[in-house]
Structure 1
Amino acid sequence: MDKDVDTLVQMGWEKEYAEKALSETNHQGLEAAINCSTRVDDLGIDISTMKTLPQVPQSFVCEECGRPLRSNDDVELHSARTGHINFKESADKLKPLTDEEKQVQMRRLEEAIVRRKMKREEEERQKCLQDEKNRRLQGKASQSAKAMFREKMMRREAEQLKRDRAEDKAYREKLLAEIEAEKAERIAKQKGVHSKEIAPAAASQSEAKSPTSPAECRLQIRTPFGQPLRGTFKSSENLGAVVLYVSQNWPMHPDSATRTTINSREITLQTTFPNRKFDEEDLSKTLNELGLCPTAVLMARRNATF
């Protein structure tokens, strides 16, 4: 009983009025006491001393479709079924539901909750499927890009290998041709010396009729690594000029296309056909005197001093 009085006081009632209202209704509960508020004069209480009683909502109305709803459960059911979210309180009291109507309404509420849950699960499932589809498409695109890149690199490597082989073949053919030319020139020189020993007079006559010495000397100088050096010199230049040229164009390292300068005293030159190593005394001799005209192939080595 004291609890009902405290509740009415918390609702804004004066304690004296709450006690009289409960007593007047034989303590039948809060609802009876609130209904008794219409008989304030009968209780002999000055209404001017009472606090304003709060309005208790008797029902609710959906602001989106105007449907009246009895309770919070009806509001939840209506929201679950229609998706409406805007409701307001109403002082209109609706007819109470029968037990059968309450059971039907509860079943509808449960069914609506189940449908919303199934809809949410289906949306999540579709989202997962779409995410997986997007992931696979991205994976296929990435694999395709990688495959195209590998194919492009393989074609590029194959083309480079083909070019390298063609260059190697051309270089070998040129080298063989130069070797054959040197060999033929050496044989021709040896035959010329032999003819001079047998017939000095004939050799002198042949020398008189021989063409003049070439004015230029084309040399190919091979280093331990890198492309061979090629240069054209005057036949009257001495071998020291060739050594200086090699020192100023010595390759830096196998992977570099640039040249560097080294000390010319570190360079040694020689020929393979015939096998001859040039020493310090040969540096002052002309290329023509050394038999390197009109063309010759020289081998250059480093870390040797004259």
Structure 2
Amino acid sequence: MSDRETLLSMGFDPARIDRALKATKNSGLQPAMDHLLANSEKPIPTAEEEEDEDEESVKANIKKIESGNVDDSDLVAKSIKCSECGKVFRSTANAEFHAEKSGHDQFEESTDEIKPLTEEEKKAKLAELREKLAIKRAAQAKVDAKDNKANEALRRKAGQDSGKIKEDMQAKELQKQAEQKRREKLEDAKAKAAIKAQIEADKRERAEKAAREKAIREGSSSTTQTPPAPVNVAKPAAGVSSSDNPQTRLQVRLSVGGQPLTKAFPSDNTLVDVAEWVASENLNYNVDTVTFASTFPRKTFSRDEMKKTLKENGLTPSAVLMAS
């Protein structure tokens, strides 16, 4: 069992045990126990307090030596001697300091008088104190440099994180703008197709009206010249399946899915007119690329045939087309 474990089993405070072992430089169980008993009423100094007190004492001694204020008032008639190592000290404070550093606790009064320092001893002591101070400052400089490096790394990481967040926000904003433009483009295309379909519907309506008025005029003229016979020619019955029917009823089935489209067109309309109507009803189709095919007889209409009328393509009076 180690000295520390033994002292812990005896009920001493762990912090005081560590302090005692450090002060006695791990010289054994008995010195550590003596130190604990002698300092049981004293507060445990922190590491910062020890360093501050040590450095302040070094600075004070340097200042004292440089100013030449070392006089006999600092000396005592009887010195204090360490019985363990033989060192002699001017004051009780110096002896206590030595006890804490070395762990020695056996002291006695001595009749040895400590002589004032000579000039050479002052210079040597001053050099020693300055060296100690330089070592402490160098150690502190290393600690400060390490802290500064860590702080700089943290600042750089924070800057990188901030830059990444800004880039992500810009990317999301650009994506949002692109989506908005795409929706606006689709809405504009749908609006244009609807307007174009309305124009075509108006054209067809005017053409149908003109055709009806023309048929009425021609029927009236024929009745005047030959009363009985031409009546049936001028007024064909509804639902006539002849290729001369002025109306063509189409059902367009979509390859992209959805309900079939059904509408009646003037027979003199072209398949291009039908393509424009399909494009206005379903934005998945484009008037310049849509193609039609009939199921019976099976046939795919070419681009030249798209320009022909429904009557010329043999779709009158009704037909079923597949759009793709």
TM-score interval, smaller chain: 0.3 to 0.5
* Structure of higher RCO (CA pairs closer than 8 Å, 6+ residues apart): 2
